[in-house]
Structure 1
Amino acid sequence: MNSSAIPPITEDDIAQYLANTPEFFERHAQLLTSVVLTSQHGQRAVSLQERQAEMLREKIKGLEQHIMELVRNGGENAAIADKVQQWARRMLAVREAADLVQAVQDGLQSLFDVPKVALRLWNVAPAWEQAPWTQGVSEDVRSFATSLTMPFCGPNLGFEAIGWLPQSAQVRSVALLPMRSGAMDDADAPAFGLLVLASDDAARFDSTMGTDFLTRMAELASAALARLR
């Protein structure tokens, strides 16, 4: 038989053999102490057992950091959820429909520290057609709001709605939330308003940020503001 036809043994072959044959190290226990490796914490030589212990410690350290991150995120989410509940209670407590728009905006600024907030509604009941918060809304803005089935978060791209904000030229990042009946992602339901959250900080509303809470907030505000239609 031609030995050249036999493929050479590779490192992967050896690794697979050792993984599938754990009793190898039982039969050759001396290898655990006699094999010398370079420590990942310097150039000193360590045994295979010591190197394995180092790897386990690093893995445990990584898991601890991941757990701490999960705990921190869980705490932040709980705090945001509590603020959303407070905001919802405030909107439900509004007796006069005429005060709803201000309540929505004030709650966002006081509870969530949003620097700049603007809200416009359209297709409202006749009693509110001349209200300040119905003015300055073009057909383009209405179409844009209806096209949104999730919050837009990102840099100020010169949206027309930014002009509703005070000192709009300084705005660097925005979150745009459509107001519509039912779920935000219901593309069949036309928007009846647009809520603008903005900041002069370019990192405040980043395109990579999660939007779950913003979606819930938009749907809560939409439900509250439906009284004005």
Structure 2
Amino acid sequence: MNDREVADYLLAHPDFFVEHAELLATIKLGNPHGKAAVSLQERQMEMLREKNKHLELRLAELLRYGHENDGIAARFVRWTSQVVAERDPHALPRTIAGQLRAEFDVPLAALRVWDVADAYAQADFAKHTGEEVRLFANSLDVPYCGANTGFEAAQWLAAAPGAEGEEQPTQSVAIVALRRRANDEEADPSGDAFGLIVLGSPDPRRFHDGMATDFLRQIGTLASAALSRLLPH
């Protein structure tokens, strides 16, 4: 019999060592932590300890993620309450961006909307945006997170409230499209965008292409609903 046949036989007869328990004491295995041989029972215990260690590390990691998500959810609720409480349409864009900076510890945040109602056409948040920005906004099915590769929208951050004294260049950005609501539940991901939220940081890893975007999508949905009052009806 070769090694494979022996292994197959033992797998097919799991009671073999129960019926031949005396063999267990004679089987010696290499110790992964030294040169001395150990018994099968000792090796099994070592394997179980290693497995438990990995499970404990995984559990600790899951608990950490859970605590982080709880913290993000709490900040999202606080941000939402500030947005909902803002009664002045002119101040709403500033509130949305300012509270994103405050609640999520984002160094820079700005937003622009276009095709607004005449009453808001001269506001800072409605400044002219180029056609490339609008095309880019319409192409964002999900928020963009990653390096700032010279996005025109990232230039808004330099003029955003709270940017005074910011000397380091914006290395990473998160860009979220604002879209008209297609129904009573959420913004239409295929509809025309009417604005962008831009978050920026001098840390190149603050926003990266591997990060989850669930909360950013929720921020975009709620901000879109709130800012829709600035559009012509």
Using structure 1 for the length normalisation, give the TM-score: 0.92
Query: What is residue 3 of structure 1 aligned with on the other side?
Result: none
Identity of aligned residues (%): 46
The CA RMSD over aligned residues, in Å, is 1.5
Instruction: Report the AA paired with residue 204 of structure 2.
Output: A
Name 1:186's counterpart in structure 2.
Answer: 189
1:119·1:193 contact (CA, 8 Å) conserved in 2? yes
Give deviations 1:177-202, integer Å, cap 9, x for gaps.
Answer: 00012345621x11000010010000
Q: Which runs of 5+ in 1 are unaligned?
A: 1-8
Contact 1:184–1:215 (CA<8 Å) still a contact in 2? no
- How far did residue 168 of structure 1 move? 8.7
* 2:217 partner letter: T
Q: Given residue 206 of structure 1, which amino acid in structure 2 is its aligned partner?
A: H
Which letter does structure 2 place at the counterpart of 1:102?
R
Corresponding residue number in structure 2 for 1:222: 224
1:174 aligns with 2:173: yes
The amino acid across from 2:189 in the alignment is D
Instruction: Write the deviation string for residues 72-109 of structure 1: whole angstroms up to 9, x where unpaired.
Output: 10010011001101101000101111110110011101
Conserved? CA contact 1:122–1:134, under 8 Å: yes
SS in 2 for 1:214: helix
Distance 1:23 1:185, change over 3 A: farther
Q: Which amino acid aligns with 1:31?
A: L
Aligned residue pairs, count: 220
Residue from 194, 197, 202 that aligns with 1:195: 197
Q: Is the 8 A contact 2:187 2:224 kept in 1?
A: no
Distance in 2 (alpha carbons) for counterparts of 1:125 and 1:185: 20
Q: 2:138 aligns with which of 137, 140, 146?
A: 146
Q: Secondary structure at 2:193's aligned position in 1?
A: coil
Whether the 8 Å contact between 1:162 and 1:168 is mirrored in structure 2 is: no
Q: Runs ≥4 in structure 1, deviation > 3 angstroms?
A: 182-185
Cα gap change, 1:159 to 1:100, in 2 (>3 Å): same
Q: TM-score under structure 2 normalisation? A: 0.90
**CA distance in 2: counterparts of 1:75 and 1:121, whole angstroms:** 34
- Deviations along 1:128-186, one digit per CA (max 9) or x if unpaired, are 11111111410110111011010100001111111111169701101010001234562
CA contact 1:150–1:184 (8 Å) conserved in 2: no
Change (3 A) 1:152 1:70: same
CA contact (8 A) 2:114 2:128 kept: no
Q: 1:10: how far off?
A: 4.0
* Residue type of the alignment partner of 2:178: M
Q: CA deviation at 1:11?
A: 2.7
Q: Partner residue of 2:209?
A: 207
Larger Rg: 1
